[in-house]
Amino acid sequence: LVMSSILVFQRSSRLVSGWMVPRSATLGMARHTGSITTECSYPKRKRDAFLRLSSSSSSSSTSESETKESVDLGVKDELVEEPPLYRCEGLLAVNKPLEWTSQDVVGYIRRMLERDARERGAPVMKLKKRGNKKLMIRVGHGGTLDPLATGVLVIGVGKGTKQLQQYLNGNKRYTASAELGYETTTLDLEGNITKSVPWEQISDSIEIKSLEAILPQFKGTIQQVPPMFSAIKKNGKKLYEMARKGVTEEDMTIPPREVQIHQLDLLPDTDNDKKGLPHFYLNVECGGGTYIRSLIRDMGHSLDTYATMTSLVRTKQGPFTLDDTFEKDEWNPDTLYAAIEKSNQYFASLDQTSEETE
């Protein structure tokens, strides 16, 4: 009888940090013992997971079976609200820095938003099969700009990456500068000169009127051969990969592609030195897939000479203009997320206007 009474007393009691307390009081006492807690302030955790973590570091006086029993007291299914992976999702535009690739920009912004998510306590990695981890932050761009180009680069964050295809294929506007008399491997200043003719030999036959006269043949729907240094694929391989291995345009045939040139104008000489010809400046509005380098090359051929692009600025892509972009020193999570929110409001207003019109 005495032994039975002792067993009953032990089953109805619990030892917590050296205190004998009734089982019904365990959760309340946990605030004092530090073994478990009922007010989980840690985001993105199920409370039962947190309880298991806490109980593993508690004093040896609390057994594993007791911890499981305490978890079963009605709190294991209660969820604590998790911080979102993104503050908001959508599109924004940045001014791509000179000599950066478009992927450089994407990687930089992804890492920035990843750090921001970590600081807010959001999960940024997802466990896949075989123990591999996948980064959950999604960032992409809406159309490649060459390293020597600057200007509008549309960036998609989160669900915004699903909207980027329309920018890849959509209209874009550029200002470009070019120089007559030579051609390079890349059709811009990044490559080596492969063909040239002294300007003095052709200066008498080429003037501004000559350039103006050839513009109409490059407007509308035209056939254009992409540069050898481009991401266009042939036989499953990118052209620039083959070019880096020494393959030239003379070694293979690159099929022309149909592109759209909506607007093509000569711009006034904006060079500080007022050089004039052989330098010239263009304003181009075109459809997706157009290479301004190829356009300038073909203009040179039409003048029976060579031409190379010396600079390129994308001034507009979709609704985004240079005025909507952010410079490199302005890139931070607060600025970028504010820009996404602003563009979301803009697109929402367009949808509302469209519905009202219908």
Pair 103, 156 in one domain: yes
Pair 183, 310 in one domain: yes
Pair 347, 279 in one domain: no
pTM of the model: 0.72
Residue 85 belongs to a domain: no
pLDDT of amino acid 254:
84
Whose tokens are 């519905």? That residue is 355
First to last CA, the chain: 87
User: CA nearest 33: which of 1, 67, 9, 10?
Assistant: 67
Identify the DSSP state of 329.
G
Burial 308-341 (b: 16+ CB within 10 A, else e): bbbebbbbbbbebebebbbeeeebebeebbebbe
pLDDT of amino acid 68:
45
Pair 113, 49 in one domain: no
Whose tokens are 């031409």? That residue is 307
pLDDT of amino acid 238:
77
Would you give per-residue pLDDT tens digits along the chain (358 residues)?
A: 444 544 444 444 433 333 333 333 332 323 233 332 223 232 333 333 333 333 444 444 444 444 444 444 444 455 556 788 899 999 999 999 999 999 999 999 999 999 999 999 888 776 666 666 667 899 999 999 999 999 999 999 999 999 998 888 889 999 999 999 999 999 999 999 999 999 888 888 898 899 999 999 999 999 999 888 777 777 777 777 777 777 777 677 788 999 999 999 999 875 555 568 899 999 999 998 999 999 999 999 999 999 999 999 999 999 999 999 999 999 999 999 999 999 999 999 887 766 665 5
pLDDT of amino acid 354:
62
β-pair type (257-266, 279-286): antiparallel
Residue 146 annotated in active site? yes
Pair 178, 307 in one domain: yes
Task: Provide the domain limits for residue 21.
Answer: 2-71
Query: Which position among 77, 104, 116, 146 bears the catalytic label?
Result: 146
User: CA nearest 297: which of 315, 316, 282?
Assistant: 282
